[in-house]
Amino acid sequence: MGNSFWDFEKRALARGFQAISGVDEAGRGPLAGPVVSAAVILPSSFHAPGLTDSKKLAPKKRTQFYEQIYQQAVSVGIGIIDAIEIDRINILQASLLSMVMAVKNLKPQPDYLLIDGKFAIAADIAQEAIIGGDRQSISVAAASIVAKVSRDCLMQRYHNDFPQFGFSQHKGYPTVAHKAAIRVHGHCFIHRKTFKGVREFV
């Protein structure tokens, strides 16, 4: 990755932008729990060898990077949309809305956004969407780690409330064990009732 991992940020800086934020979400695919987005502005001095897309990192490594990002970042913003709202507006709209919330929670506000995926968000800020951004931009990779670790912590808390579903293991994703638990126990309030695998039991 090395230097090229900063290419998107460097191009934006060369165009005169100063506060560049990576934006990513975690939790589009699960049957339960919120979708969580993070927006991260990194200083140019940020150095984290081995940092990459959160999906490619072991949980322990993710947590180490998460702590390092929080220690060094200029700003970190989080946006959370719960299952009720996901069912109401659909998962794509909920994901984009959580990204908008994450960006709004940044202080200082960014003047340029690098967004993972193919969609722009409803923010009055210059932005570019990057498919596979969490593998190409260090700011987006940092946002992917913060979003994933934040969401995993929430799902761990929900596990304490609803141990019968095993949320600590699968984090709400549609594993064999999770689908079996829904068949036996039905659903709880954090389940997404419009999703296949849950709606049949509502």
Per-residue pLDDT tens for 12-49? 999 999 999 999 999 999 999 999 999 999 999 999 99
Query: pTM for this structure?
Result: 0.97
Residue 1 has what pLDDT?
A: 44
- What is the distance between the alpha carbons of residues 73 and 123, in angstroms, rounded to a whole number? 21
Domains annotated for the chain, with CATH where assigned, are 2-156 (3.30.420.10)
Closest CA to 36 of 153, 157, 122: 153
Residue 64 has what pLDDT?
A: 97
Residue 91 CB: number of other CB atoms within 10 A? Answer: 19
- What is the distance between the alpha carbons of residues 129 and 25, in angstroms, rounded to a whole number? 13
Point out the residues of the chain with pLDDT beneath 70. Answer: 1-3
Helices marked H in the chain — which ranges?
A: 7-14, 59-72, 83-89, 91-104, 138-161, 167-170, 176-185
Residue 57 has what pLDDT?
A: 95
Residue 3 has what pLDDT?
A: 67
